[in-house]
Structure 1
Amino acid sequence: MTLTAIVESIIFAADSPLSIDRMADLLQEYQRVDIKAALSELEELHQGRAGGFHLVEVGGGWQFRTRPELQEYVLRQVRSKAVKFSPSALETLAIIAYRQPVTRIEVEHLRGVDCGGVLKTLLEKKLVRILGKKDIPGRPLIYGTSREFLEVFGLKDLKSLPTLKEIQALGEEPHFEQQEELPLGKTDGVVEGE
């Protein structure tokens, strides 16, 4: 049994992404460097075979995921598993993701409305977690995104979030430069109508 096969099997059996630290704990008889080499070999193998799934680093760990281009077919089988978000939940989640650590009052100030119910829902879905309490009067809770947030949105880490410029570019209409009109009289020495 090769280390590559062992690593592949434990990642396949895991219900969430496995970090290299966790794999090193599970496979104490192997060196960390060998585990990393096995991961690289697996990533290359699955990328090269262009099958229905591939190995990706997401949420601080490694996980097998179906290829995005096959989404249409996978959704036929897994209809009820799709997570739906209300606009207010997405807005609150975006504020927390980009501004974390952040308090409820700070989120409400930015949104301009109460967000207690939305925060509760995001906590229940484990997309947001409580990081602690802020050292100010009243000691309000501080919120941040969770590992599940990274998994749901397919992010390796928070640095993978799109920048403001990338987000704005999505909403813009394509910009085409205006070209000068070509004169229609003479073309290659021939005058039209002759």
Structure 2
Amino acid sequence: MGLLFTDDLKAIIESLLFVSNKPLTVKEVSEIINLSQEETEKLLEDLYLEYQKNHRGFTLAKLAYGYLFITKKEHAPFIEKLYKPKLSNLSTAALETLAIIAYKQPITRSEIELLRGVKVDKIIYTLIDRNLIEEVGRREGPGRPILYGTTRDFLQYFGLNDISQLPHPEKYALEEA
């Protein structure tokens, strides 16, 4: 391929990020472009800063588990007209269950049912099927019930680096009062 310059390498990285359907780690990119992880991280950081400055409809997101092109939040109303988000097809009960899992994880099915006051078996299967939650272990004790938690897809969908970035529910409870 010959000697590549910084702009060429950045263009290749942009192409990789554009066609990827998941965040790419520094390691993955460095292996593809045949550079050290340090050099690759520098190029990714340069690209990240460049995208923060420009006035495009998308930006480069730096997540805990990789880099990903995303659309800007202020364009969400227009994008929603084009695509119905995965969660819009979820029932209110499924969204409530997902919120409980997100805030209380790891949590068992019976603990969710205790909070909601209804059975959640089918809802749990739906959320697992959509890869929004997963089994994260088992609780010690009688029956060793399955513990559920959110997935990377959940974080990615909501644009979060980690679960600590969820909004605090107390804020919304005060607004409703």
Q: Residue in 2 aligned with 1:114? A: 119
Given the alignment, which residue of 135, 146, 153 partners 2:140?
Answer: 135
Count the aligned residue pairs.
170
Instruction: Kindly report structure 1 stretches of 4+ aligned residues shifted beyond 4 Å.
Output: none
Alignment of 1:149-188 (within 5 A): 149-171=154-176
Q: How far is 1:127 from its partner?
A: 0.1
Q: CA deviation at 1:10?
A: 1.4
Q: Which has the higher helix share?
A: 2
Task: Tell me the distance in 2 between the aligned counterparts of 1:82 and 1:143.
Answer: 20
Deviations 1:77-131 (A, max 9, x none): x234553132211211111111111111111112121111111110111000111
The gaps in structure 2 that reach 5 residues or longer are none
Whole-angstrom distance in 1 between the partners of 2:96 and 2:53: 38
SS at match of 2:59: strand
Q: Are the equivalent residues in 1 in contact too, given 2:51–2:59 (CA < 8 A)?
A: yes
Q: Give the drift of 1:41.
A: 1.1
Aligned equivalents of 1:21, 1:98: Cα separation in 2: 31
Q: What code does the residue aligned with 2:61 have?
A: V
Partner in structure 2 of residue 17 of structure 1:
23
C-alpha distance after superposition, 1:64-87 (max 9, x if no partner) = 1111222233334x2345531322
- Aligned 8 A contact 2:48 2:62 in 1: no
* Distance change in 2, residues 1:101/1:22 (3 Å): farther
User: Equivalent pairs: percent with the same residue?
Assistant: 35
1:79 maps to 83
Q: Which has the larger radius of gyration?
A: 1
Unaligned runs of 5+ in 1: 173-194
Question: With CA pairs under 8 Å and 6+ residues apart, which has the higher RCO, 1 or 2?
Answer: 1
Q: Aligned residue for 2:14?
A: 8
In the alignment, the residues of structure 1 paired with residue 112 and residue 145 of structure 2 have an alpha-carbon distance, to the nearest angstrom, of 12
Please point out which of 59, 63, 66 is paired with 1:61: 66
Report if aligned partners of 2:52, 2:59 keep a CA contact under 8 Å in 1: yes
In the aligned structure 2, how far is the partner of 1:170 from the partner of 1:89?
A: 23
- Evaluate the alpha carbon distance shift between residue 133 and residue 156 of structure 1 in structure 2; reply closer, same or farther with a 3 A threshold: same
> What's the TM-score once normalised by structure 1's chain length?
0.77
Kindly provide the amino acid, as one letter, of the partner of residue 44 in structure 2.
L
Q: What is the aligned partner in structure 1 of residue 152 from structure 2?
A: 147
